[in-house]
Structure 1
Amino acid sequence: MNGRIPPAVLALVPLPETTLDALRSQYALHHYPDGMPSGVPSADAIRAVVTNGSTGLSDAQMALLPALEIICAFGAGYENVDLEAATRRGIVVTHAPGTNADTVADHAFGMLLALARGYAPLTAAVQQGRWQHSRQARPTLSGAALGIVGMGRIGRLIAARAKGFAMTIGYHGRRAQADAPGRYYATPAALAAASDFLVIACNGGPETRHLIDRPVLQALGNSGYIVNVARGSVLDTRALLEALTLGEIAGAGLDVIDNEPEVPAELFRQRDVLITPHMAGRSPASWLAQRDALLASLSQHFARQRVQLVVPAA
Structure 2
Amino acid sequence: MVNQSSKATSDQSLGRQNVEELPQLLILHPGPIFSMHESLFEKKFSLLKAWESPESIHHFLTTHAQSTRAILCSSVTPITAEILSLLPSLCVIACENTGVELIDLMECRKRGIYVTNAGPAFSQDVADMAVGLLLAVAMRIPASDRYIRARGWSDHQCFPPRTFKLRGKHVGIVGFGNIGSEVAKRLEAFGCKISYNSRKQKPSIPYEFYPQVIDLAYNCNVLIICCALTDQTRHMINRDVLKSLGENGIIVNVGRGSIIHERELVTSLMSREIAGAGLDVFENEPNVPNELFELDNVVLTPHRGAFTEEVFSNAFKLTMANLEAFFSNKPLITAIKQYD
Q: TM-score, normalised by structure 1?
A: 0.90
- Mean Cα deviation higher: 130-139 or 77-86: 130-139
Alignment of 1:85-164 (within 5 A): 85-131=107-153, 132-138=156-162, 139-164=164-189
- Deviations along 1:18-57, whole A, 9 cap, x unmatched? 42222122223355789xx953784233323222356441
In structure 2, relative to structure 1, the CA distance for the partners of 1:309 and 1:151 (3 Å cut) is closer
Amino acid paired to 2:47: L
| Secondary structure of 2:102's aligned partner | coil
CA distance in 2, matches of 1:13, 1:181: 41
Deviation at 1:100, TM superposition (A): 0.9
Answer yes or no: is 1:194 the counterpart of 2:216: no
Among 2, 19, 26, the residue aligned to 1:9: 26
Which has a greater percent of helix? 2
Partner residue of 2:85?
A: 63
CA distance in 2, matches of 1:258, 1:199: 16
Deviation at 1:69, TM superposition (A): 3.5
Answer yes or no: is 1:243 the counterpart of 2:268: yes
Partner residue of 1:29?
A: 47
CA distance in 2, matches of 1:70, 1:159: 32
1:254–1:274 contact (8 Å) kept in structure 2 = yes
**What are structure 2's unaligned runs of at least 5 residues?**
1-14
In structure 2, relative to structure 1, the CA distance for the partners of 1:38 and 1:121 (3 Å cut) is farther
In structure 2, relative to structure 1, the CA distance for the partners of 1:313 and 1:167 (3 Å cut) is closer
CA distance in 2, matches of 1:105, 1:90: 33
Among 275, 295, 299, the residue aligned to 1:270: 295
Deviation at 1:73, TM superposition (A): 1.1
Deviation at 1:11, TM superposition (A): 4.7
2:90–2:113 contact (8 Å) kept in structure 1 = yes
In structure 2, relative to structure 1, the CA distance for the partners of 1:140 and 1:233 (3 Å cut) is same
CA distance in 2, matches of 1:19, 1:245: 44
Task: Compare CA radii of gyration and give the structure with the larger one.
Answer: 2
Answer yes or no: is 1:52 the counterpart of 2:52: no
1:72–1:95 contact (8 Å) kept in structure 2 = yes
Alignment of 1:143-292 (within 5 A): 143-292=168-317
Partner residue of 1:74?
A: 96
| Secondary structure of 2:137's aligned partner | helix
CA distance in 2, matches of 1:111, 1:311: 28
Report sequence identity in percent. Answer: 31
| Secondary structure of 1:307's aligned partner | coil
Q: TM-score, normalised by structure 2?
A: 0.83
- Mean Cα deviation higher: 135-144 or 188-197: 135-144
CA distance in 2, matches of 1:266, 1:238: 10
| Secondary structure of 1:170's aligned partner | strand
| Secondary structure of 1:99's aligned partner | helix
CA distance in 2, matches of 1:65, 1:128: 58
| Secondary structure of 2:278's aligned partner | strand
Q: CA RMSD in A?
A: 2.6
- Mean Cα deviation higher: 72-81 or 159-168: 72-81
Deviation at 1:207, TM superposition (A): 1.3
- Mean Cα deviation higher: 200-209 or 127-136: 127-136
Partner residue of 2:11?
A: none
1:147–1:192 contact (8 Å) kept in structure 2 = yes
CA distance in 2, matches of 1:225, 1:38: 47
2:28–2:77 contact (8 Å) kept in structure 1 = no
**What are structure 1's unaligned runs of at least 5 residues?**
none
CA distance in 1, matches of 2:31, 2:50: 8
In structure 2, relative to structure 1, the CA distance for the partners of 1:234 and 1:49 (3 Å cut) is same
